[in-house]
Chains A and B, each alone.
Chain A
Amino acid sequence: MIDILYFAWLRERIGTNREQVETQAATVADLVAELEARSEGHGLAFADKTSLRVALDQELADFAAPLSGVREVAFFPPMTGG
């Protein structure tokens, strides 16, 4: 079981800020392919991958990163702090 968190417009499109999924995905990209198929909202949220960022256990990562041992995956748009 892995915790998936969504922020900003990803959260709005998917309609939840957190869900738990059972997955055998080896990498972030594999996980995205599974999540995209979950609902129309998921498909919309993951449509433009160039505007997506991912964090694994609260550290920024890339889509090729492996998921083994990861507990929390967060997806969000580019950050706008400051």
Chain B
Amino acid sequence: MRLVVQEAAFDLGAEANAFAAAVQGAGAVVTFTGLVRDNGGALDAMEIEHYPGMTERAIGAIMDEALGRWSLVDALVIHRFGVLKGGEPIMMVATAAPHRADAFAAAEYLMDYLKSRAPFWKKEIGAGGEDWVKAKEADEDALKRW
């Protein structure tokens, strides 16, 4: 299990390849990547703030829970903070399991919990000014299925 919280960009292809190459006994690898939506050109940048220390603890706890619930061989979470441009990768998760059902379910679980339980806050900066992204009720509701 690997967890990285960083300001720097990451190489999605290289991370996915390294993850898949290192897992032993997996028959399935699922990856998800979140990108900065540019809102049809209206967004200049997205600023992501986080709570150093709690961020790592919260994500670590979410990953431990996923590893306990599903038959996973390994899991990876990379999440960035700082100022990002439209189209840039914000974060990725990868899961590896003997079979795909566990890898898919665990990846979805990680994403649902990272959305609402990892201490990050996004601010959209555009020509119209700056706006903190509001948490969606649907994101909170998504946790109920687990």
Let me know if B117 is at the binding interface, CB within 8 A.
yes
> Within the assembled complex, what's the spacing in Å between the Cα atoms of A23 and B90?
39
A74 to chain B, nearest CB (A): 6
Q: Which residues of B contact A80 (CB under 8 A)?
A: 115, 120-122, 132-135
Query: Does B94 sit at the interface, judged by CB under 8 A?
Result: no
Number of interface residues of B (CB under 8 A): 26
Query: Provided the pairs A7-B49, A55-B51, A58-B57 are in contact, do residues A81 and B118 lie with their beta carbons within 8 angstroms?
Result: yes
Given contact pairs A81-B91, A81-B115, a sample of 17 additional A-B residue pairs in the complex whose CB atoms are under 8 Å apart: A7-B119, A58-B51, A59-B57, A60-B117, A74-B51, A74-B54, A76-B51, A76-B119, A77-B132, A78-B135, A79-B116, A79-B119, A79-B120, A80-B120, A80-B122, A82-B91, A82-B120
Binding site for A on B (CB under 8 A): 34, 49, 51, 53-54, 57-58, 79, 90-91, 111, 114-123, 132-135, 140
